[in-house]
Structure 1
Amino acid sequence: MKPVAIFRHSPTEGAGHFALFLTEHAIPWQMIHIDQGEAVPADAAAFSGLVFMGGSMSVNDDLPWIPRALALIRAAHARDIPLLGHCLGGQLMSKALGGVVTKNPVKELGWGRVTVAESATAREWFGDIREFDSFHWHGETFSLPPGAELLLSSPHCANQAYAIGKHLGMQCHVEMTEQMIRDWCENGADEIAANLHSPAVQSAATMQAQMRDKLPGLHRVADRLYRHWLHGLAK
């Protein structure tokens, strides 16, 4: 099997639980360190699937790798090579496939409840899960690209996840681990402090106090989504 390509855009925003999931299921994967200057591959067909992680930049920033990533996403979509996006990754997918990324009404930083849409497609991805506590860290939001179906919403962000066939784009973070949360709280201390007035922003202490209770449930949701996504991998 060809490896799954995982694109890392920030040193602290790696694959987290997703990498553990792939390893447990004996799925080969390759990390592409965009944050270290590695080039965006030219050929999507070299991989069984493409996975884009988070990052502090905007997809609307003038960065040399962004147009290349958007072109790779479009090429993979055209060849039906499965795409999976986490936060910035979901925004990259949206922009590449005809959506737009704009400022969200408020920042979402920390734990927050998301609700699963009432649709057949949402049932395919989430099974009997109706709502769950996810982790969030974003100030922008994506529109649904043409052909996408809404899967998740939250009170502070209408578009939390969408599917286009076998492709899944998410605004929320289901890939979190305890260490990732600690790292984000440390690196994002100034951002948290500047936005504590937001109804969707928690303190670092609250985020970390809740993670041991909430992470097992989040991982169960992630495992469900990742298992469904694996079905579409190119052999």
Structure 2
Amino acid sequence: MKSALIIRHLAFENLGTLESVLEHRGYELHTVDATLADLTAIDIVSPDLVVVLGGPIGAFDEQQYPFLMHELALVRKRLDSGRKILGICLGAQLIARVLGSQVGSMGVKEIGFAPVTLTEKGQRSYLAPLAEGWPVLHWHGDQFQIPVGAQRLAGTAICPNQAFSMGSAVLGLQFHLEVDPLCLEPWLVGHAAELGVAGIEPVDLRDQAQALGARLAPIAQGIFCDWLDLA
């Protein structure tokens, strides 16, 4: 049986629609809470797949959240192994930082469902279905620069660097392709303070999610399957 190590920072920012993809493909899932686990004792190399999920802190906030230094060390070790790693939001920012790229605040929040614009390389990649304009969930105030040697795959007007890849093993997504629009309510509750500060009404996000319904999930799952199939 294949194995996948999932590193999460909040319980409700989970694998979402990616979970059933991995289960159907025979992965045994092991989830680690980065805020509580002894990250120095984790075997980051052996799993067939590592997924580093999102969270509301910054990839550069290690002075406030010291566990991030251990998490960055894990990400570095995984990258050095050459084995598959997927980073989403904070996870992608941690990968970018380890690869030497700048990560910092955009000065604004990008929150809500909206499409991304694919680069030429993105249009030829597993992200190609998003070229049809499917809205994906954005929920961030920080951004990464594209690492040297990586391919930029997607962007938005607010945040031009939304996705990058390095070969077939490394994929970083700033947007939350994994989120099931039908399961957004925990996000609205868990990030209520952030929404309030940003002046964003939960009802608006709820309406966007309900308009999408279950249509986005199979598209996201297909994208993840195509990436997993890359040798």
User: TM-score with structure 2 length normalisation?
Assistant: 0.89
Aligned-partner Cα distance in 1 for 2:161–2:97: 14
| C-alpha distance in structure 2 between counterparts of 1:10 and 1:129, whole Å | 27
Aligned counterpart, 2:18: 18
Q: 1:127 to 1:94 in 2, by over 3 A?
A: same
Same amino acid, percent of matched pairs: 28
CA distance in 2, matches of 1:184, 1:176: 10
CA distance in 2, matches of 1:50, 1:164: 15
Within 5 Å, give how 1:128-207 maps onto structure 2: 128-130=129-131, 131-166=133-168, 167-178=170-181, 180-196=183-199, 202-207=200-205
Secondary structure of the 1:55 match is: coil
1:44/1:81 contact within 8 Å kept = no
Once the two structures are superposed, what CA deviation does each residue of 1:22-54 show, in whole Å capped at 9, x if it has no partner?
Answer: 11222222111223x112254322211110011
Q: Any idea what the Cα deviations from partners look like across 1:206-226, whole Å, max 9, x if unmatched?
A: 111121332534323321321
Which residue is 1:199 aligned to?
Answer: none
Residue identity matched to 1:39: D
AA paired with 2:87?
A: G
**How far is 1:136 from its partner?**
1.2
What stretches of structure 1 of length at least 5 have no aligned partner? 197-201
CA drift of 1:69 comes to 1.9
Change in CA separation of 1:189 and 1:144 when aligned onto 2, cut-off 3 Å: same
Residue of structure 2 equivalent to 1:73: 75
- Look up the equivalent residue of 1:8 and give its one-letter code: R
Q: CA deviation at 1:203?
A: 2.1
TM-fit CA distance, 1:179: 6.0
Partner Cα distance (1:128, 1:9) in 2: 29
CA contact (8 A) 1:126 1:221 kept: no
Distance 1:122 1:39, change over 3 A: farther
The corresponding residue for 1:8 is 8
SS at match of 2:165: strand
* Counterpart amino acid of residue 125 in structure 2: E
Contact 1:178 1:211 in 2 (8 A): yes
| Aligned-partner SS, 2:27 | coil
Q: Is the 8 A contact 1:174 1:221 kept in 2?
A: no
User: Deviation string for 1:104-127 (max 9, x for gaps)?
Assistant: 1420111122111112x5412223
Structure-1 residue corresponding to 2:119: 117
Q: Secondary structure at the match of 2:45?
A: helix
Letter in 2 for 1:231: D
Q: Which residue among 219, 223, 231 is the counterpart of 1:221? A: 219
User: Number of residue pairs matched?
Assistant: 226
4+ residue segments displaced more than 6 Å? none
Check 1:226–1:109 CA distance in 2 against 1; reply closer, same or farther (3 A cut): same
> Are residues 162 and 13 of structure 1, via their aligned partners in 2, closer, same or farther at CA, if it must alter by over 3 Å?
same
TM (normalized to structure 1)? Answer: 0.88
Q: Which moved more, 1:136-145 or 1:187-196?
A: 187-196
Unaligned runs of 5+ in 2: none
Partner of 1:28: 28
- Alpha-carbon separation, structure 2, partners of 1:100 and 1:117: 21
Q: Give the letter for the 1:177 counterpart.
A: D
Higher mean displacement: 96-105 or 47-56:
96-105
